Structure 1
Amino acid sequence: MDVRHLQYFLETAKRRSFTKAAEALHVTQPTISKMIRILEEELGVELFDRTARQIVLTDAGEAVMIQAQQIVRSLENLSVDLADVTSMRKGQIRIGLPPMTGAPFFPELIAAFHKLYPRIGIRLIEEGARTIEREVESGSLDLGVAVLPVDAERFDMFTFVKEELRLVVHHGHRLARRQTVRLVELSGEKFLMFREGFTLHESIPAACIQAGFKPDVIYESSQWDFLSGMAEAGLGVALLPETICRKLSPDKVATITLVSPRIPWHLVMIWRKEGYLSYAAREWLRFSKERLSLPNL
């Protein structure tokens, strides 16, 4: 059934005349008659009583008219909704953010995006980077922030932060006055670590083992401020990104450059390779890449 059949039928029912319907629709009267005859044959009923001086709907025609109005109205609404989506007047984006990356990088970006596209909703999900990777791959999230290394066979990405981890200790710690610390010098220390699901939960122990020791992890958390607070209280040492260290008060903790090896903290925006991205998500990707990407990458 062609929607034009229904539109021609409704116009004829409205005007009670094939001729007037043809004039309103800018087609010939035989075209109107043919379309309605096709519709009647397809439905197996007569829609109009043509024996009267002015055509009138049959009882079957009355029933069809009610449904036809709903169908045509739904199609018109669909066209409007699609126009809203493709022109960025509506939509929703699901973005995964590790707790450490939300506040430093995204409030101003989201505010600027919202100003341009006030009817596009952004749903933020806070999880560790490894969890975010799984959610993006499954399609539960449209995009997410992850920490390198990321599987390039599963995700497309762009880098927007290239930093390193720093050592965070309380002011009475034996290393607090040092400018640099080699990782092996932390052997025997109590470590405050991000919990499972965070990339640093894997990368820090791997670096320690490479340096010749296994870290003694006494506490795990998903919150960087809790880890820094524990370090301030002298309960252990933490390794945190430079961005986070800049937020810490030098009156409360000492932050020290970590060397031999340096542990990188490179942030990327990821999305599923060859996966579908909505119009809104594609625009967010273009918008954020333009404002976040590092030069010459």
Structure 2
Amino acid sequence: MEWQRLEYFQTLANVQHMTRAAELLSISQPALSRSIASLEEEIGVPLFDRQGRSIILNRYGTMFLERVNRIMSEMSDGLNDIQQLIDPEQGEITLGFLHTLGTSTVPNIIRAFHYKYPHITFQFKQNHTHTLLKQLKSGELDLCLVASIDYEKPIDWIELWRDELFVIVPIHHPLANRKSISINELIHESFISMKKGYALRKTTDSIFSNTNLLPNIAFEGDEVATVAGFVSAGLGFSILPDGEEINPRKIAKLRIEDMVCERVIGMARVENRYLSPAATNFQQFIFDYFFKEKK
């Protein structure tokens, strides 16, 4: 069933006058008559009663018009929704990011972007890197801000910035007054780690591997806040990026000596996948936000 025939039928049903309907549709009257006849033949019943030069919508036509009006309305709404989504000044962006970026980094980015594009809306999803990448691949996310790991196609990842990692110890720890520390000074103490599979866990594993040290992992957590909480309770030390999770009244933050310890954060997207104009604008805004800052 052709969409155009439904449009012709709806117009004719509303005016119930062949000549007037043809004029409204900018087609000839014979062309309209043929289209309606073809529609009736396809459905199997007449939709209009012909009385001389007049046509009147019959009970079949009335029933069919209700459905056609609904279809046309849904189609119109759908087209309007799509137009809003692809409007670079409006639209909606689905953005994923790590929990640790939600306290200041992402809010600051969104505030700056919203000032420039006040009518673009966001849906946010926070999780760890592997889950965010699964959501990205499945199409649930347009873009995501995640830590550096070994990426495979079709994921395209671009570094944006680096966060320094610190040793954190309970505030009453004997070494808490130090400004910096070597990892091997704490190697015999309990280590509070992120669970396996997290990008931050991979980073800390690499730090210990590079120093030929084996950490004494006492507890593992799903969230940075959980790890910091265990440290503040005096259950061990950890290695984390700076953030609001590190309460200075309960935790001391020490720089790591003898090596550069960083977490690398970047933007990931699916290579060659369509990005709406709004998402494309946001992607470019992110690049400008960080790369201009570095110059």
The TM-score, its normalising length taken from structure 1, stands at 0.82
Which letter does structure 1 place at the counterpart of 2:100? M
The 5-angstrom pairing of residues 253-264 of structure 1 reads 253-264=251-262
Residues 99, 56 of structure 1: alpha-carbon distance in 2 compared, 3 angstrom cutoff: closer
Which position in structure 2 is the counterpart of 1:145? 145
Task: Check whether the contact 1:160–1:294 (CA below 8 A) recurs between aligned residues.
Answer: no
Instruction: For residue 41 of structure 2, give the secondary structure of its aligned residue in structure 1.
Output: helix
Matched, 1:231 2:231: yes
> Which residue in the other structure is 2:81 paired with?
81
Q: Which moved more, 1:86-95 or 1:21-30?
A: 86-95
User: CA 1:132 to 1:22, structure 2 compared with 1: closer, same or farther past 3 Å?
Assistant: closer
CA 1:274–1:253: 2 relative to 1, 3 Å? same
Which amino acid letter does the alignment assign opposite residue 133 of structure 1? L
Kindly indicate whether the alpha-carbon contact (under 8 Å) linking 2:192 and 2:217 is maintained by their aligned counterparts in 1: yes
Work out whether residues 91 and 119 of structure 2, in 8 Å CA contact, stay in contact via their aligned partners in 1: no
Gaps of 5+ in 2: none
- Letter in structure 2 aligned against 1:200: L
1:54-203 residue pairs with structure 2 within 5 A?
A: 54-87=54-87, 92-113=92-113, 116-118=117-119, 120-125=121-126, 127-203=127-203
CA contact (8 A) 1:47 1:57 kept: yes
SS at the partner of 1:218?
Answer: strand
Alignment of 1:27-42 (within 5 A): 27-42=27-42
Q: Flag the 1:105–1:29 CA change in 2: closer, same or farther, 3 A.
A: same
Please give the per-residue CA displacement for 1:168-222, whole angstroms capped at 9, x wherever unaligned.
2245545445444333333212212223342122221232133122100112223
Aligned to 2:32, what secondary structure does the other structure show? helix
Give runs of aligned pairs for residues 199-210 of structure 1, distance below 5 A: 199-210=199-210
Letter of the structure 1 residue corresponding to residue 260 of structure 2: R
1:65-102 deviation line (CA, Å, top 9, x unaligned): 33332222222222222222222687654433322211
Q: 1:290 and 1:198 mapped to 2: Cα distance?
A: 28
Q: Kindly indicate whether the alpha-carbon contact (under 8 Å) linking 1:8 and 1:35 is maintained by their aligned counterparts in 2.
A: yes
Secondary structure of the 1:196 match is coil
Contact 1:166 1:245 in 2 (8 A): no
Q: CA deviation at 1:235?
A: 3.0
> 1:197-252, CA deviations, whole angstroms, 9 ceiling, x for partnerless residues?
421222212321331221001122234344344434543222121x3289652x65
In the superposition, relative to structure 1, how do residues 196 and 14 fare at CA in structure 2: closer, same or farther (>3 Å)? same
Q: Percent identity?
A: 26
The range that moved more, 284-293 or 4-13, is 284-293
Tell whether the 8 Å contact from 2:180 to 2:255 is kept in structure 1 after alignment: yes
Q: Determine the C-alpha separation between the residues in 1 that align with 2:208 and 2:273.
A: 36
Alignment-derived partner of residue 19 in structure 2: 19
When residues 196 and 21 of structure 1 are mapped into structure 2, their CA distance, relative to the original with a 3 A threshold, is same
Aligned to 2:221: 221
Question: Using a 3 Å threshold, how does the CA distance of structure 1 residues 227 and 87 change in structure 2: closer, same or farther?
Answer: same
SS in 2 for 1:244: coil
Query: Does the 8 Å CA contact 1:245/1:255 hold for their aligned counterparts?
Result: no
Q: Summarize the Cα distance change of 1:101–1:197 in structure 2 as closer, same or farther, 3 Å threshold.
A: farther
* Residues 227, 148 of structure 1: alpha-carbon distance in 2 compared, 3 angstrom cutoff: same
Q: Figure out how many residues of one structure are paired with residues of the other and give that number.
A: 294
Length-normalised TM-score, structure 2: 0.82
The answer to whether the Cα contact below 8 Å between 1:3 and 1:72 also exists between their aligned partners in 2 is no
Whole-angstrom distance in 2 between the partners of 1:159 and 1:88 = 25
Task: Judge conservation of contact 2:162–2:263 (CA < 8 Å) in 1.
Answer: yes
After superposition, the Cα gap between the structure-2 partners of 1:228 and 1:76, relative to the gap in structure 1 and judged at 3 Å, is closer
Q: 1:36 to 1:133 in 2, by over 3 A?
A: closer
Provide the secondary structure at the position in 2 that maps to 1:212. Answer: coil
- Describe the SS at the equivalent of 1:46: coil
State how far apart, in whole Å, the 2-side matches of 1:134 and 1:7 are: 42
Is structure 2 residue 290 aligned with structure 1 residue 289? no
Moved more, 253-262 or 198-207: 253-262
